[in-house]
Structure 1
Amino acid sequence: MSRSVSPLALFGGTFDPIHIGHLSVAWEASELLDAEVRLMPANVPPHRPPPTASATQRVDMLRAALRGQSRLALDTRELERSGPSYTIDTLEELRREYGERPLVLLLGADAFAGLRSWHRWRELFDVTHLGVINRPGIEACVPVELERAVAARRTDDPGVIRSMPAGKVIELAVTPLEVSATRIRELLATGRDPRYLLPAGLFDDAALLEPYRT
């Protein structure tokens, strides 16, 4: 592929709950890459405890959060599979679906630093680019072995990402918003109202945040 094509970027997570930090990162990545970004909630995340809210509840929150704009979308395919949500399986499915369209897996710098622990991690580069989310002033320590594996794949040109389907690593500097889903759950559990940490749509229906109230 030599012509420039709008990439499809994937931003995964438990979104338990979706908060403004998630949305800000996804929005800025979309602008930096000129990409469609899909938020993809995980079913059974292999590296984390099970979510507090059910899959249906998290989807309802995501739909409420994403109303009124078209840059970010929801993709529920991982919730429709049983068992652990392995990223490589999802990306291979998307590659079959979208042919040669560029795919970009968005992940934080800390997650990227731990990439070697991922299931079939080397095969990721066969099906996707990696967009590494960096917050200015925060450095993640990338293991020497991983850096050697990706050094030749690095680019700082979004045009390169748009011109080929997979195989590159690009760093994306975004606005630092230190918002913690754990802290939000704690606030809700004690009856407090994290009004400006969550998207406004989540307050339109009191039932949306009920899973976190005790």
Structure 2
Amino acid sequence: MTATGTPRRIGLLGGTFDPVHIGHLRGALEVAEIVGLDEVRLVPNYRPPHRETPNSSAQDRLTMVRLAVQELPLLAVDARELERDKPSYTLDTLESLRAELDEDDQVFLIVGWDAFCGLPSWHRWDELLDHCHILVMQRPDADSDAPEALRDLLAARSVSDPLTLTGGGGQIAFVWQAPLGVSATRIRQFLASGRSVRFLVPDAVLAYINAHGLYRASN
């Protein structure tokens, strides 16, 4: 707990970050400011269960995320999933983090709409809200409905205003965001074809990519 005795409000944003880009950073910052979080921790996945193996190494991805947040006080990096050397289950991460925090500290799991809709396929997904609140980054152009498996959960646990979330967990709120239309897949494609990705990733990340020849067609 902080010196003032005020509970901390910590956001978690997981991903492969292959590479980290402005969409990740902008989304994390918007959520932190809108919901009033003390920090958002970017959590690079080691081996995501629902996605292909990352194109770059765990060390490269971790270094790029650290470079990306070095001048952003609201953002931090949490490397615990890379240190586990096994598939990255969000529930394990939440349980590990909770063991380090004070009882009154709040944890907010930040996910995009697509990831939220896939929640029923996650490892022990029905236990996630025992450890955190869930903040869904929803874009105005998202037009798909939540799957049936989530409808009862949304009816029982969702709140209209994320600022009203209280306690250690158990509720879901939506944070509306302007779409940026940036994806790591597109960035990798640009790099493989020799196109510039400047302004899509932080300059420090681009310098690292260039210095190490990441995502080039020969890789």
* TM-score tier after normalising by the smaller chain length: over 0.9
In terms of fraction of residues, the more helix-rich structure is: 1
SS in 2 for 1:79: coil
What's the counterpart of residue 18 of structure 2? 16
What's the counterpart of residue 196 of structure 2? 193
TM-score (norm 1): 0.93
What's the counterpart of residue 123 of structure 1? 127
**How far has the Cα of 1:121 moved from its partner?**
0.6
What's the counterpart of residue 88 of structure 2? 85
Give the aligned residue type for 2:22: I
TM-score (norm 2): 0.91
Report the more deviating stretch, 69-78 or 191-200. Answer: 191-200
More relative contact order in 1 or in 2 (CA 8 Å, sep 6+)? 1
Query: Identity across aligned pairs (percent)?
Result: 45
Deviations 1:28-62 (A, max 9, x none): 01111111100000000000111011011011111
Would you say the 8 A contact 1:25–1:175 is kept in 2? no
Structure 1 segment 1-214 matched on structure 2, within 5 A: 5-35=7-37, 36-100=39-103, 101-161=105-165, 163-205=166-208, 207=210, 210-213=213-216, 214=218
**How far has the Cα of 1:114 moved from its partner?**
1.4
Report the more deviating stretch, 142-151 or 30-39. Answer: 142-151
Paired residues, what number?
211
Q: Gaps (5+ residues) in structure 2?
A: none
**How far has the Cα of 1:136 moved from its partner?**
1.3
SS in 2 for 1:145: helix
Deviations 1:81-123 (A, max 9, x none): 0210000010011111113211111001111111111110110
Tell me the C-alpha RMSD between the 2 structures: 1.7
**How far has the Cα of 1:209 moved from its partner?**
5.5
SS in 2 for 1:172: strand
Would you say the 8 A contact 2:64–2:208 is kept in 1? no
Q: Gaps (5+ residues) in structure 1?
A: none
Would you say the 8 A contact 2:15–2:45 is kept in 1? yes
